[in-house]
Structure 1
Amino acid sequence: MPLKVIAFDADDTLWVNEPYFRETEMKFFGLLDHLLEPHEIERELLTTEANNIALYGYGVKAFTLSMMETALRISNGSLESKVIARIIELGREQLDHDVELIDGVEETLKALYDQYRLVVATKGDLLDQERKLRKSGLEGYFHHVEIMSEKAPEDYSKLLNHLDVQPEEFLIVGNSLKSDIIPVLKLGGYGIHIPFHTHWSLDKVDVKVESPKFREVSSIREAKDVICGM
Protein backbone atom coordinates (compact mmCIF):
# COMPACT_ATOMS: atom_id res chain seq x y z
CA MET A 1 0.00 0.00 0.00
CA PRO A 2 1.23 3.56 -0.60
CA LEU A 3 2.35 5.53 2.40
CA LYS A 4 -0.38 7.96 3.50
CA VAL A 5 0.49 9.26 6.99
CA ILE A 6 3.82 10.37 8.45
CA ALA A 7 3.88 10.86 12.21
CA PHE A 8 6.60 12.85 13.94
CA ASP A 9 7.57 12.54 17.55
CA ALA A 10 7.99 16.02 19.03
CA ASP A 11 10.59 16.19 21.82
CA ASP A 12 14.13 15.84 20.44
CA THR A 13 12.73 15.11 16.98
CA LEU A 14 11.10 18.43 16.09
CA TRP A 15 12.57 20.53 18.89
CA VAL A 16 15.21 20.32 21.62
CA ASN A 17 13.95 18.92 24.92
CA GLU A 18 16.15 16.52 26.89
CA PRO A 19 19.13 18.90 27.30
CA TYR A 20 16.85 21.26 29.26
CA PHE A 21 16.02 18.43 31.67
CA ARG A 22 19.73 17.82 32.13
CA GLU A 23 20.32 21.53 32.85
CA THR A 24 17.56 21.49 35.47
CA GLU A 25 18.99 18.32 36.99
CA MET A 26 22.39 19.93 37.44
CA LYS A 27 20.79 22.86 39.29
CA PHE A 28 18.81 20.39 41.40
CA PHE A 29 21.96 18.45 42.31
CA GLY A 30 23.56 21.72 43.42
CA LEU A 31 20.73 22.31 45.89
CA LEU A 32 21.42 18.99 47.61
CA ASP A 33 25.16 18.51 47.23
CA HIS A 34 25.60 18.97 50.98
CA LEU A 35 23.65 15.73 51.47
CA LEU A 36 24.90 13.40 48.70
CA GLU A 37 27.25 13.33 45.75
CA PRO A 38 25.68 14.34 42.40
CA HIS A 39 25.80 10.80 41.00
CA GLU A 40 24.01 9.53 44.11
CA ILE A 41 21.31 12.18 43.80
CA GLU A 42 20.94 11.31 40.12
CA ARG A 43 20.42 7.64 40.99
CA GLU A 44 17.82 8.52 43.63
CA LEU A 45 15.97 10.83 41.24
CA LEU A 46 15.91 8.23 38.48
CA THR A 47 14.45 5.67 40.90
CA THR A 48 11.74 8.14 41.91
CA GLU A 49 10.89 8.93 38.29
CA ALA A 50 10.62 5.25 37.40
CA ASN A 51 8.27 4.64 40.33
CA ASN A 52 6.12 7.65 39.46
CA ILE A 53 5.55 7.16 35.72
CA ALA A 54 2.36 5.18 36.27
CA LEU A 55 1.00 7.95 38.52
CA TYR A 56 2.27 11.16 36.94
CA GLY A 57 3.12 10.22 33.38
CA TYR A 58 5.78 12.26 31.58
CA GLY A 59 6.82 15.88 31.28
CA VAL A 60 8.11 18.77 33.35
CA LYS A 61 5.34 18.69 35.96
CA ALA A 62 5.95 15.00 36.68
CA PHE A 63 9.68 15.70 36.78
CA THR A 64 9.21 18.54 39.27
CA LEU A 65 7.12 16.36 41.57
CA SER A 66 9.80 13.66 41.41
CA MET A 67 12.50 16.19 42.27
CA MET A 68 10.54 17.33 45.32
CA GLU A 69 9.89 13.76 46.45
CA THR A 70 13.55 12.82 46.01
CA ALA A 71 14.75 15.89 47.91
CA LEU A 72 12.41 15.20 50.81
CA ARG A 73 13.48 11.56 50.97
CA ILE A 74 17.23 12.05 50.97
CA SER A 75 16.95 14.92 53.46
CA ASN A 76 14.73 12.83 55.76
CA GLY A 77 12.03 15.48 55.47
CA SER A 78 14.26 18.28 56.76
CA LEU A 79 14.30 20.50 53.65
CA GLU A 80 14.08 24.21 54.21
CA SER A 81 11.09 25.89 52.60
CA LYS A 82 13.40 27.97 50.40
CA VAL A 83 14.80 24.78 48.83
CA ILE A 84 11.29 23.50 48.05
CA ALA A 85 10.45 26.92 46.61
CA ARG A 86 13.57 26.76 44.42
CA ILE A 87 12.61 23.31 43.08
CA ILE A 88 9.20 24.65 42.11
CA GLU A 89 10.92 27.61 40.46
CA LEU A 90 13.17 25.25 38.47
CA GLY A 91 10.09 23.52 37.09
CA ARG A 92 8.49 26.84 36.17
CA GLU A 93 11.66 28.00 34.43
CA GLN A 94 11.73 24.87 32.31
CA LEU A 95 8.04 25.17 31.40
CA ASP A 96 8.69 28.73 30.26
CA HIS A 97 11.73 27.82 28.16
CA ASP A 98 11.90 28.94 24.55
CA VAL A 99 11.27 26.31 21.87
CA GLU A 100 14.40 25.58 19.83
CA LEU A 101 13.66 23.82 16.54
CA ILE A 102 16.08 21.15 15.41
CA ASP A 103 17.92 22.11 12.25
CA GLY A 104 16.11 21.09 9.07
CA VAL A 105 12.70 20.48 10.64
CA GLU A 106 10.70 23.17 8.88
CA GLU A 107 12.17 22.52 5.46
CA THR A 108 11.37 18.82 5.88
CA LEU A 109 7.76 19.52 6.82
CA LYS A 110 7.40 21.90 3.87
CA ALA A 111 8.72 19.26 1.49
CA LEU A 112 6.35 16.55 2.74
CA TYR A 113 3.23 18.57 3.52
CA ASP A 114 1.58 18.36 0.07
CA GLN A 115 2.31 14.66 -0.40
CA TYR A 116 1.27 13.11 2.93
CA ARG A 117 -0.92 13.67 5.94
CA LEU A 118 1.49 14.83 8.63
CA VAL A 119 0.70 14.27 12.30
CA VAL A 120 2.39 14.82 15.64
CA ALA A 121 2.48 11.71 17.84
CA THR A 122 4.10 12.56 21.13
CA LYS A 123 3.71 11.84 24.82
CA GLY A 124 3.93 14.07 27.86
CA ASP A 125 1.89 16.68 29.66
CA LEU A 126 -1.01 17.94 27.52
CA LEU A 127 -0.69 21.64 28.33
CA ASP A 128 3.09 21.66 28.02
CA GLN A 129 3.12 19.89 24.66
CA GLU A 130 0.37 22.14 23.31
CA ARG A 131 2.37 25.16 24.48
CA LYS A 132 5.56 23.96 22.78
CA LEU A 133 3.75 23.20 19.53
CA ARG A 134 2.14 26.65 19.57
CA LYS A 135 5.47 28.39 20.28
CA SER A 136 7.25 26.31 17.62
CA GLY A 137 5.28 27.88 14.76
CA LEU A 138 4.79 24.42 13.21
CA GLU A 139 1.08 23.90 13.93
CA GLY A 140 0.01 24.66 10.36
CA TYR A 141 1.92 21.71 8.91
CA PHE A 142 0.00 19.05 10.84
CA HIS A 143 -3.35 17.52 10.01
CA HIS A 144 -3.66 16.01 13.48
CA VAL A 145 -1.91 16.24 16.87
CA GLU A 146 -1.97 13.25 19.24
CA ILE A 147 -0.58 13.79 22.73
CA MET A 148 -0.41 10.33 24.28
CA SER A 149 -0.06 9.26 27.90
CA GLU A 150 1.97 6.26 26.75
CA LYS A 151 3.41 4.94 23.48
CA ALA A 152 2.71 1.21 23.43
CA PRO A 153 1.49 -0.69 20.34
CA GLU A 154 -2.10 -0.46 21.54
CA ASP A 155 -1.79 3.34 21.78
CA TYR A 156 -0.56 3.57 18.21
CA SER A 157 -3.33 1.18 17.14
CA LYS A 158 -5.91 3.62 18.54
CA LEU A 159 -4.22 6.43 16.61
CA LEU A 160 -4.30 4.42 13.37
CA ASN A 161 -7.98 3.70 13.86
CA HIS A 162 -8.67 7.38 14.46
CA LEU A 163 -6.77 8.31 11.29
CA ASP A 164 -8.47 5.47 9.36
CA VAL A 165 -5.21 4.08 7.97
CA GLN A 166 -3.60 0.66 7.93
CA PRO A 167 -0.19 0.08 9.58
CA GLU A 168 1.34 -0.37 6.12
CA GLU A 169 0.27 3.18 5.28
CA PHE A 170 1.87 4.69 8.39
CA LEU A 171 5.42 5.87 9.12
CA ILE A 172 6.80 7.20 12.41
CA VAL A 173 9.87 9.46 12.61
CA GLY A 174 11.39 9.76 16.06
CA ASN A 175 14.45 9.74 18.29
CA SER A 176 13.38 6.87 20.57
CA LEU A 177 13.57 3.22 19.55
CA LYS A 178 11.55 2.26 22.63
CA SER A 179 8.72 4.77 22.34
CA ASP A 180 8.58 5.66 18.65
CA ILE A 181 9.98 2.94 16.45
CA ILE A 182 9.54 -0.51 17.98
CA PRO A 183 5.80 -0.19 18.82
CA VAL A 184 4.97 0.90 15.25
CA LEU A 185 7.10 -1.85 13.70
CA LYS A 186 5.26 -4.39 15.85
CA LEU A 187 2.01 -3.24 14.26
CA GLY A 188 3.43 -3.57 10.75
CA GLY A 189 4.17 0.09 10.11
CA TYR A 190 7.39 1.86 9.11
CA GLY A 191 9.92 3.62 11.31
CA ILE A 192 12.78 6.07 10.79
CA HIS A 193 15.04 6.55 13.81
CA ILE A 194 16.99 9.77 14.29
CA PRO A 195 19.22 9.33 17.37
CA PHE A 196 19.58 12.45 19.53
CA HIS A 197 22.78 13.24 21.38
CA THR A 198 21.05 13.34 24.79
CA HIS A 199 18.66 10.60 25.84
CA TRP A 200 16.67 9.91 29.00
CA SER A 201 17.97 6.80 30.75
CA LEU A 202 14.47 5.35 31.30
CA ASP A 203 13.73 5.50 27.57
CA LYS A 204 16.79 3.57 26.42
CA VAL A 205 16.71 0.02 25.09
CA ASP A 206 19.66 -2.18 24.27
CA VAL A 207 18.34 -3.81 21.13
CA LYS A 208 19.32 -4.02 17.48
CA VAL A 209 16.36 -3.41 15.21
CA GLU A 210 16.38 -5.42 12.00
CA SER A 211 13.45 -4.89 9.69
CA PRO A 212 13.00 -3.97 6.03
CA LYS A 213 10.58 -1.29 7.29
CA PHE A 214 13.21 0.38 9.49
CA ARG A 215 15.91 2.94 8.75
CA GLU A 216 18.30 4.82 11.02
CA VAL A 217 19.50 8.20 9.79
CA SER A 218 21.63 10.99 11.18
CA SER A 219 19.31 13.96 10.63
CA ILE A 220 15.76 14.92 9.78
CA ARG A 221 16.98 16.07 6.37
CA GLU A 222 18.24 12.56 5.70
CA ALA A 223 14.87 11.22 6.88
CA LYS A 224 13.19 13.48 4.31
CA ASP A 225 15.41 12.08 1.54
CA VAL A 226 14.57 8.49 2.58
CA ILE A 227 10.84 9.25 2.57
CA CYS A 228 10.98 10.96 -0.81
CA GLY A 229 12.74 7.89 -2.18
CA MET A 230 10.12 5.43 -0.91
Structure 2
Amino acid sequence: MLQIKKVFDLSQPVYDKCPGWQTYEMTSMRYEAIYPKDGFNAERISMNAHTGTHLDAPFHFNPEGITIDQIPVERFQGQAVLVNLDGKTQDKEGISAEHLKPYENLIEKDSIVVLYTGWCRLRGFTERYYHDWPYLSQDGAQWLRDKQVKGVGIDALSMGGWYEGTGRPCHETLLPAGIWLLEELDIPSELLEYQTFYLSAYPIKLQGFSGAPARAVGMILENRPLKSDAFP
Protein backbone atom coordinates (compact mmCIF):
# COMPACT_ATOMS: atom_id res chain seq x y z
CA MET A 1 0.00 0.00 0.00
CA LEU A 2 1.25 3.46 -0.86
CA GLN A 3 1.99 5.62 2.17
CA ILE A 4 1.37 9.14 0.90
CA LYS A 5 3.11 12.09 2.54
CA LYS A 6 1.94 14.91 0.28
CA VAL A 7 -0.26 15.34 -2.78
CA PHE A 8 0.15 17.94 -5.55
CA ASP A 9 -2.46 18.88 -8.15
CA LEU A 10 -0.62 19.04 -11.49
CA SER A 11 -3.62 20.04 -13.59
CA GLN A 12 -4.37 23.32 -15.31
CA PRO A 13 -7.92 24.61 -14.75
CA VAL A 14 -10.40 24.43 -17.61
CA TYR A 15 -12.82 27.33 -17.89
CA ASP A 16 -14.81 29.29 -20.43
CA LYS A 17 -12.49 30.62 -23.17
CA CYS A 18 -9.41 29.20 -21.43
CA PRO A 19 -6.09 28.98 -23.33
CA GLY A 20 -5.75 26.03 -25.69
CA TRP A 21 -4.32 24.95 -29.02
CA GLN A 22 -5.04 27.95 -31.20
CA THR A 23 -6.46 26.13 -34.22
CA TYR A 24 -9.21 24.53 -32.09
CA GLU A 25 -12.51 26.16 -31.28
CA MET A 26 -12.28 27.81 -27.88
CA THR A 27 -13.76 26.11 -24.86
CA SER A 28 -17.32 27.18 -24.11
CA MET A 29 -19.14 26.67 -20.80
CA ARG A 30 -22.57 27.67 -19.59
CA TYR A 31 -25.14 26.77 -16.98
CA GLU A 32 -27.80 24.38 -18.26
CA ALA A 33 -29.67 24.47 -14.95
CA ILE A 34 -29.50 26.95 -12.09
CA TYR A 35 -30.67 26.48 -8.56
CA PRO A 36 -33.22 29.34 -8.35
CA LYS A 37 -35.07 28.05 -11.41
CA ASP A 38 -34.45 24.31 -11.38
CA GLY A 39 -33.63 23.47 -7.77
CA PHE A 40 -30.13 22.30 -8.74
CA ASN A 41 -27.09 23.42 -10.74
CA ALA A 42 -25.79 21.69 -13.88
CA GLU A 43 -23.35 22.85 -16.52
CA ARG A 44 -22.63 22.19 -20.20
CA ILE A 45 -19.16 22.26 -21.73
CA SER A 46 -17.97 22.28 -25.35
CA MET A 47 -14.24 21.70 -25.79
CA ASN A 48 -11.62 19.86 -27.79
CA ALA A 49 -10.41 16.74 -25.98
CA HIS A 50 -6.83 18.05 -26.23
CA THR A 51 -7.49 21.09 -24.03
CA GLY A 52 -5.97 21.83 -20.65
CA THR A 53 -4.11 19.01 -18.95
CA HIS A 54 -4.71 16.03 -21.22
CA LEU A 55 -3.31 12.76 -22.51
CA ASP A 56 -2.46 11.82 -26.09
CA ALA A 57 -3.03 8.24 -27.28
CA PRO A 58 -1.33 6.63 -30.32
CA PHE A 59 -4.46 7.25 -32.44
CA HIS A 60 -3.70 11.00 -32.22
CA PHE A 61 -1.02 10.69 -34.93
CA ASN A 62 -1.80 7.28 -36.40
CA PRO A 63 -5.19 6.06 -37.67
CA GLU A 64 -4.02 2.50 -36.90
CA GLY A 65 -3.07 3.35 -33.31
CA ILE A 66 -5.06 2.53 -30.20
CA THR A 67 -7.44 5.09 -28.73
CA ILE A 68 -7.40 6.54 -25.24
CA ASP A 69 -10.03 4.11 -23.92
CA GLN A 70 -7.98 1.13 -25.15
CA ILE A 71 -4.93 1.91 -23.04
CA PRO A 72 -5.01 -0.23 -19.86
CA VAL A 73 -5.88 2.00 -16.94
CA GLU A 74 -2.93 0.78 -14.86
CA ARG A 75 -0.60 2.39 -17.39
CA PHE A 76 -1.64 5.86 -16.26
CA GLN A 77 0.26 5.73 -12.98
CA GLY A 78 3.76 5.01 -11.76
CA GLN A 79 7.10 6.32 -10.63
CA ALA A 80 7.90 9.66 -12.26
CA VAL A 81 11.23 11.38 -12.78
CA LEU A 82 11.12 15.18 -12.78
CA VAL A 83 13.52 16.65 -15.33
CA ASN A 84 14.01 20.27 -14.31
CA LEU A 85 14.87 22.27 -17.43
CA ASP A 86 14.05 25.69 -16.04
CA GLY A 87 16.78 28.03 -17.23
CA LYS A 88 18.42 25.22 -19.22
CA THR A 89 16.51 25.73 -22.46
CA GLN A 90 15.78 28.71 -24.67
CA ASP A 91 12.47 29.70 -26.23
CA LYS A 92 11.67 27.46 -29.23
CA GLU A 93 14.55 25.12 -28.36
CA GLY A 94 14.28 21.38 -28.77
CA ILE A 95 14.83 19.31 -25.63
CA SER A 96 17.51 16.84 -26.73
CA ALA A 97 19.06 13.67 -25.39
CA GLU A 98 21.82 15.85 -23.92
CA HIS A 99 19.24 17.57 -21.71
CA LEU A 100 17.98 14.17 -20.52
CA LYS A 101 21.22 12.24 -20.00
CA PRO A 102 21.97 13.78 -16.58
CA TYR A 103 18.89 11.88 -15.36
CA GLU A 104 19.67 8.55 -17.04
CA ASN A 105 20.41 6.77 -13.76
CA LEU A 106 16.89 7.62 -12.56
CA ILE A 107 15.00 6.91 -15.80
CA GLU A 108 14.27 3.20 -16.09
CA LYS A 109 11.98 0.95 -18.09
CA ASP A 110 8.36 2.00 -17.40
CA SER A 111 9.37 5.27 -15.77
CA ILE A 112 7.20 8.31 -16.39
CA VAL A 113 9.33 11.31 -17.37
CA VAL A 114 8.00 14.79 -16.59
CA LEU A 115 9.66 17.72 -18.36
CA TYR A 116 9.50 21.00 -16.43
CA THR A 117 10.26 24.01 -18.62
CA GLY A 118 8.61 26.70 -16.48
CA TRP A 119 6.03 27.29 -19.22
CA CYS A 120 3.12 26.55 -16.89
CA ARG A 121 3.90 29.86 -15.14
CA LEU A 122 3.26 31.71 -18.41
CA ARG A 123 -0.18 30.34 -19.24
CA GLY A 124 -2.20 33.06 -20.91
CA PHE A 125 -3.03 34.67 -24.22
CA THR A 126 0.44 35.77 -25.24
CA GLU A 127 2.46 35.19 -28.39
CA ARG A 128 5.21 33.58 -26.32
CA TYR A 129 2.97 31.09 -24.52
CA TYR A 130 1.17 30.13 -27.70
CA HIS A 131 4.21 29.67 -29.94
CA ASP A 132 7.63 29.67 -28.31
CA TRP A 133 7.74 26.88 -25.70
CA PRO A 134 10.70 24.45 -25.49
CA TYR A 135 9.58 21.16 -27.00
CA LEU A 136 10.81 17.57 -27.07
CA SER A 137 13.00 17.00 -30.14
CA GLN A 138 13.04 13.78 -32.15
CA ASP A 139 16.48 13.05 -30.71
CA GLY A 140 15.18 13.43 -27.16
CA ALA A 141 12.08 11.39 -27.96
CA GLN A 142 14.17 8.56 -29.43
CA TRP A 143 16.36 8.53 -26.33
CA LEU A 144 13.27 8.13 -24.14
CA ARG A 145 11.85 5.49 -26.45
CA ASP A 146 15.10 3.53 -26.20
CA LYS A 147 14.75 3.75 -22.41
CA GLN A 148 11.29 2.14 -22.79
CA VAL A 149 9.53 4.69 -20.61
CA LYS A 150 5.80 4.41 -19.97
CA GLY A 151 4.81 8.04 -20.53
CA VAL A 152 6.20 11.54 -20.96
CA GLY A 153 4.70 14.76 -19.59
CA ILE A 154 5.42 18.43 -20.23
CA ASP A 155 4.15 21.73 -18.80
CA ALA A 156 3.60 23.34 -22.22
CA LEU A 157 0.76 23.29 -24.75
CA SER A 158 2.25 20.32 -26.57
CA MET A 159 5.12 17.87 -26.41
CA GLY A 160 6.08 19.02 -29.90
CA GLY A 161 6.71 22.59 -30.94
CA TRP A 162 4.49 25.04 -32.78
CA TYR A 163 6.78 25.83 -35.70
CA GLU A 164 6.95 23.80 -38.90
CA GLY A 165 8.87 20.57 -38.50
CA THR A 166 8.93 20.64 -34.69
CA GLY A 167 5.51 19.28 -33.76
CA ARG A 168 5.23 15.85 -35.36
CA PRO A 169 8.61 14.15 -34.77
CA CYS A 170 8.31 13.48 -31.03
CA HIS A 171 4.69 12.35 -31.39
CA GLU A 172 5.57 10.05 -34.27
CA THR A 173 8.50 8.60 -32.30
CA LEU A 174 6.82 7.99 -28.94
CA LEU A 175 3.15 7.25 -29.66
CA PRO A 176 3.74 4.25 -31.98
CA ALA A 177 5.81 2.69 -29.17
CA GLY A 178 2.78 2.86 -26.87
CA ILE A 179 4.23 5.75 -24.87
CA TRP A 180 1.46 8.14 -23.91
CA LEU A 181 1.98 11.90 -23.73
CA LEU A 182 0.69 14.16 -20.96
CA GLU A 183 0.54 17.81 -21.97
CA GLU A 184 -0.08 21.20 -20.35
CA LEU A 185 0.80 20.17 -16.81
CA ASP A 186 0.91 22.70 -13.99
CA ILE A 187 3.90 21.87 -11.81
CA PRO A 188 4.08 23.67 -8.45
CA SER A 189 7.40 25.05 -7.24
CA GLU A 190 7.39 22.84 -4.16
CA LEU A 191 7.46 19.70 -6.30
CA LEU A 192 10.75 20.87 -7.83
CA GLU A 193 12.44 19.97 -4.54
CA TYR A 194 12.07 16.31 -5.51
CA GLN A 195 13.66 14.30 -8.30
CA THR A 196 11.12 11.51 -8.18
CA PHE A 197 7.46 11.21 -7.20
CA TYR A 198 4.48 8.98 -7.87
CA LEU A 199 2.23 10.23 -10.67
CA SER A 200 -1.31 9.34 -11.64
CA ALA A 201 -3.15 10.90 -14.57
CA TYR A 202 -6.40 9.17 -15.40
CA PRO A 203 -8.13 10.30 -18.60
CA ILE A 204 -11.87 10.45 -19.12
CA LYS A 205 -12.89 7.20 -20.84
CA LEU A 206 -13.85 8.69 -24.19
CA GLN A 207 -14.46 5.83 -26.61
CA GLY A 208 -12.60 6.11 -29.90
CA PHE A 209 -10.84 9.36 -28.96
CA SER A 210 -7.22 10.28 -29.69
CA GLY A 211 -6.87 11.87 -26.27
CA ALA A 212 -8.77 13.04 -23.23
CA PRO A 213 -8.64 15.54 -20.38
CA ALA A 214 -6.99 14.16 -17.25
CA ARG A 215 -6.63 15.12 -13.60
CA ALA A 216 -2.90 14.72 -13.01
CA VAL A 217 -1.72 14.25 -9.44
CA GLY A 218 1.79 13.97 -8.01
CA MET A 219 2.35 12.19 -4.72
CA ILE A 220 5.36 12.19 -2.44
CA LEU A 221 5.57 8.87 -0.65
CA GLU A 222 6.58 8.37 2.98
CA ASN A 223 10.27 7.81 3.66
CA ARG A 224 11.25 9.46 0.37
CA PRO A 225 13.79 12.18 1.27
CA LEU A 226 14.34 15.47 -0.44
CA LYS A 227 16.92 15.18 -3.17
CA SER A 228 17.50 18.79 -4.17
CA ASP A 229 21.22 18.42 -3.43
CA ALA A 230 21.44 15.63 -6.00
CA PHE A 231 20.02 17.50 -8.97
CA PRO A 232 22.17 17.44 -12.11
User: TM-score scaled by structure 1?
Assistant: 0.29
Query: Which has the higher Rg, Structure 1 or Structure 2?
Result: 1
Structure with higher strand content: 2
